[in-house]
Copies of this chain bind each other. A is one copy, B any other.
Amino acid sequence: MDQYVRPFSLCSRYVIGPLETLIKALKLLPGVGEKTATRFAFYILNAKTEEIRTLVNSVRDVKAKLRLCSICFHLTEKDPCAICSDPRRDQSRLCVVETPLDLMAVEKAAIFRGLYHVLHGLLSPLDAIGPEDIRLEELKERARKGSFQEIILALNPTVEGESTAGYICEQLRDAGVKVSRIAYGIPIGGSLEYADPLTLTRALENRREL
């Protein structure tokens, strides 16, 4: 094939329109590059019509049918959400999280039976996210009105998470409610050897007497 050695750009000339459009759309998904998008596209191309209909409808539905609970701001179909309207939940404890995903992670651990409050963000002066950009006013309102004995801050151990926790703690001082935050330390199954210095520092600082 010596006569073919000179490279020439064919790729753009033989574009398969709908396939390229789909690959481009799929590449917008988080963590999906050209190769993964192409694999997805071919999967979709070969999938049963029924399966595709389910996918298309569920993509549409998720935006159309879901809203935020007017009490805790978790995602829900009905307002208030199932957790807020469940009388069996412990009404005296409130867990504050950043996102609905965090809420679902806490809920999956099946250890917390109280109520939630989703902030939908963390304070971040660098990104110009101030107290009015997240559901902080609503949290203060709930803390004032509600009969919470304890508000547990379950925010990520990042700079933003830490400073948001500090700010909330300060803002809730007048509400007369105990504010705590989840423990940071070595994860279960983790290894001291691979823990970063900051995690180790936290783990040592927060040691408990046995």
Chain A residues within 8 Å of B, Cβ to Cβ: 1, 4-5, 7-11, 13-14, 16-19, 21-22, 24-26, 28-31, 36, 38-45, 47, 49, 51-52, 54-56, 58-66, 75-77, 81-83, 86, 99-101, 107-108, 110-113
Contact = CB atoms under 8 A, between A and B. Distances in A.
A49 B63 contact: yes
B56 A56 contact: yes
Nearest to A28: B51
B47 A28 contact: yes
Contact of A14 (B24, B25, B36, B82): B82
Contacts of A113: 4, 8
A17 B77 contact: yes
12 contacts: A10-B110, A14-B107, A18-B65, A21-B61, A25-B51, A28-B51, A28-B55, A29-B44, A42-B100, A44-B62, A52-B59, A52-B63
A148 to B, nearest CB: 14
Contact of A110 (B9, B42, B44, B66): B9
B5 A77 contact: no
Contacts of A7: 110-111
Given A14-B82, A75-B16, A107-B10, A63 B45 contact: yes
Contact of A112 (B4, B52, B108): B4
Contacts of A60: 52, 56
A142 to B, nearest CB: 19
Given A13-B82, A28-B51, A39-B30, A58 B21 contact: yes
A25 B62 CA distance: 12
B25 A30 contact: no
